[in-house]
Structure 1
Amino acid sequence: MICASKLAVSYPYIAQLRITDFRSYIRRDLSFDGRPAALFGPNGAGKTNLLEAISLLSPGRGLRRAKLEDLARKHGETSAAYWGVNATLSGADETKLAIGQVPDAPRRRTHRLDGKTATGTTIAQQIAVMWLTPAQDRLFTGPAGERRKFLDRLCLPGHPRHGQHTIRYEKARADRNRLLSDGIDDPFWFDALERDMANCGAQIAMAREDTVATLMEQVADRPETAFPKSTAIIEGEAETLFRGGADVHDVEAQITAWLAGDRSRDRRAGRTLRGVHRSDLQVFHAPKSMPAGDCSTGEQKALLIGLILAQARTQVERNPARPLALLLDEIAAHLDERRRAALAQELLSLPVHSLMTGTDAGLFEAFGDQAQMIPISESGS
């Protein structure tokens, strides 16, 4: 185990992490003291695997969006029977969280809180997890679906049921699409599925609009830094209704009417053509009044970091007693010295548990002795 001296930090954090038969690891134990943690080592050492393990404490499929059965450690052509992730949160009671794969059902995940069976929503109430990965660097120029996923991840810390609403909506939409493509014209089935889509769609749109509105307030209130301010707006019919002052019941009724009125058109297309599954997050470089997608690669990275830092501050203000783990994979690799220093300053001022990865300890020099430096050299031990 890599040990760290205990520091009197004023915010909750992940104190202990243990993973077993996960990715490249047979078993790995880490201790943290609450300072920003820099996990450094060569490519392939397993740094991102550790962040991925932590990301699975939040709803969804983690920062790599991997299938549960693909997470178990592989040895040749065989895989471990199951994997597990255990985390102990700081505090007088040392809350213990555990998630893992069900041995006899590799596509199912178990959750435990202080040794007792729990739900994913219950775990999400104990800790919030946010992340940035290199795969998100082209978020603003990629497909709208990637921006929706990013936005929905931002919603989760403030709206723990958002993931459940999204899953229910997508299931109902898939069922409706099957009716459309199969040429089935049964009002009873359409009415039932559209009610579910409308109910969940309204909740999804409300969470998105609330998240972006609160985020923009946070961005506007902070001073200018090396990470430029952004403006963001959701392009979506349901979200626009909330922005105009409609309540959730009005939006649900409107979505129901849209779906019912679109059945003939959707039947010709074989799919549902409108809804919250078509919404898009538009981000702009505020000082330049320029779409983020038109900015340079470095500016896009800086805008993305600025957004995630603002969201972290928002969540801390909303729920200061809940630990927030901020996972930043290869965060410093493509930042110049000025922005590395600015990032260090931002993270040191945030009452969150930041965990970063990088290939070299020198990438984190700006932290001085205020970061916990953890070398990662062997992923299988």
Structure 2
Amino acid sequence: MRHISALRLTDFRNYHSLDVTFGPEPVVLFGPNGAGKTNLLEALSFLSPGRGMRRAKIEDLAKRTINSQAVAWGINATLNNETKISIGQIPEYPRRRLVRLNGANATSTELAQEINLMWLTPVQDRLFTGPAGDRRKFLDRFVFAHVPGHGAISSRYEKARSERNRLLSDGVQDTRWFEALETDLAIYGSQIAEARAATLTALQAEISARDSVFPKAQISIEGHYETLSLKGMDTQGVQNALKEDLAKGRSLAQRAGRTLIGPHRSDLCVTHIAKSMPASDCSTGEQKALLIGLMLAQARTHNGPTIKSRKPILLLDEVAAHLDEGRRAALIEELLALETQVFMTGTDESLFKAFDGRSQNFEVKDGHVQSVNS
């Protein structure tokens, strides 16, 4: 089992220095609010590409004291006692970070090939009623678990879109500039759409195949180019369609001053099947249960019929707090059945009693982590 076997933090959030080791079993982190439980999970989330589960700025992560801030922060982790990952802020360039894999500089794609991380946080409880952009990020995190290069492709798409938007807002009329950028947008946008469509298909198949105490969801995407891919159009066909649409819609985009079509406009739609009700209309508890169900289904798709990827490590922040005792116990059994490493946080150790000796428990207090297993 691929797992995080050791973690060292240096001047990260409220941790001046932390060294802790883990086995492959589920990890329970309990302690009072503000102790540093979520900060530890956030550090782990930086082991995957991206801005971490809080999407914080690099320069805001260093430990602060009353009178000063640390020069730089660092995260060092070991996978299975062999593979070493180092993530750190560059003191001379505080808005940049350095990623190293076994002592050598590494790209985000290389990092994603080593470790697959997914997370749920209390902020995501508002996912179904919040802006579409949050749901796209949620879906793309699922995609990224299966397609290591998805993050790099998305970054290239966003760079091309930003440059096209600049031309649009500045009133530039040179068609050659637009054609070059629209070619890039079509290439990267079609790959994004195809990856999302494949992930959605695998996820829905996994949801339909299993029964769970958590409600089943019907998932779809409001996005023209993902829909084309779902209907069987190949990547080149989607690319051609997107490029043609961008050219046709250029005059309208010039009036708006921004790019109006493409996968950056798509939205993830989720329906509570048993109630035939959009997730946004469900109760807060039902929305939480739907989210957990989606996460569990996604964790099982790593070895599905259409997608192969490394089994994910799960970071679950305060997930058990708002579940009744029966659902907490059911969640724990489903997590154990995944046979992957799981990190869970909560204010009280009793929330996790259903693990019944099958977890590693740590008390977190004032930036210190202490094992409580006998």
Report the TM-score, using the length of structure 1 for normalisation.
0.94
**Cα separation, partners in 2 of 1:63 and 1:126, compared to 1, 3 Å:** same
**Counterpart of 1:313?**
300
CA deviations 1:193-241 (Å, max 9, x no partner) are: 1111111101111111111100011111112x21011110011010011
**Counterpart of 2:10?**
20
The residue matched to 2:365 in structure 1 has which SS?
coil
**Counterpart of 2:182?**
194
Letter in 2 for 1:19: L
Q: CA deviation at 1:168?
A: 1.2
CA contact (8 A) 1:323 1:353 kept: no
2-structure distance, mates of 1:319, 1:361: 35
The residue matched to 2:167 in structure 1 has which SS?
helix
**Counterpart of 1:303?**
290
**Counterpart of 1:365?**
353
The residue matched to 1:75 in structure 2 has which SS?
coil
2-structure distance, mates of 1:196, 1:86: 36
**Counterpart of 2:26?**
36
Letter in 2 for 1:268: R
* Equivalence map 1:125-140=2 (5 Å): 125-140=113-128
2-structure distance, mates of 1:81, 1:316: 42
CA contact (8 A) 1:36 1:354 kept: yes
2-structure distance, mates of 1:235, 1:254: 17
CA deviations 1:340-374 (Å, max 9, x no partner) are: 01111111111211000000101111111111111
Q: CA deviation at 1:140?
A: 0.8
**Counterpart of 2:57?**
67
Q: CA deviation at 1:99?
A: 1.0
The residue matched to 2:354 in structure 1 has which SS?
helix
CA contact (8 A) 1:38 1:357 kept: yes
The residue matched to 1:137 in structure 2 has which SS?
helix
**Cα separation, partners in 2 of 1:70 and 1:316, compared to 1, 3 Å:** farther
Q: CA deviation at 1:270?
A: 1.1
**Counterpart of 1:5?**
none
Q: Does 1:288 align with 2:275?
A: yes
**Counterpart of 1:166?**
154
The residue matched to 1:157 in structure 2 has which SS?
helix
1-structure distance, mates of 2:180, 2:40: 43
Q: CA deviation at 1:378?
A: 2.2
Letter in 2 for 1:372: Q
Letter in 1 for 2:224: E
**Counterpart of 2:231?**
244
CA contact (8 A) 1:13 1:324 kept: no
Letter in 2 for 1:98: S
CA contact (8 A) 2:280 2:287 kept: yes
2-structure distance, mates of 1:323, 1:109: 26
Q: Which runs of 4+ in 1 moved over 3 A?
A: 316-320
2-structure distance, mates of 1:274, 1:345: 43
**Counterpart of 1:279?**
266
CA deviations 1:113-165 (Å, max 9, x no partner) are: 11222222111100000000000001111111110111111111101111111
Q: CA deviation at 1:78?
A: 2.5
1-structure distance, mates of 2:100, 2:91: 15
Match of 1:210 among 161, 175, 198: 198
**Counterpart of 2:94?**
106
Q: CA deviation at 1:186?
A: 0.9
The residue matched to 2:322 in structure 1 has which SS?
coil
Q: Does 1:324 align with 2:312?
A: yes
The residue matched to 1:141 in structure 2 has which SS?
coil
Structure 1 unpaired stretches of 5+: 1-10
Match of 1:52 among 36, 42, 45: 42
Aligned residues: 367
CA deviations 1:236-276 (Å, max 9, x no partner) are: 01001101110001111111001111111111111111111
Letter in 2 for 1:326: L
Letter in 2 for 1:273: L
Q: CA deviation at 1:77?
A: 4.6
Match of 1:81 among 64, 71, 81: 71
1-structure distance, mates of 2:194, 2:171: 32
Q: Does 1:351 align with 2:346?
A: no
Letter in 1 for 2:171: G
Q: CA deviation at 1:324?
A: 2.4
Match of 1:150 among 134, 138, 142: 138
CA contact (8 A) 1:68 1:108 kept: yes
CA contact (8 A) 2:37 2:364 kept: yes
Match of 1:95 among 79, 83, 108: 83
2-structure distance, mates of 1:220, 1:194: 38
2-structure distance, mates of 1:343, 1:253: 45
Q: Does 1:176 align with 2:164?
A: yes
**Counterpart of 1:333?**
321
Q: CA deviation at 1:102?
A: 1.4
Structure 2 unpaired stretches of 5+: 370-374
Letter in 1 for 2:321: A
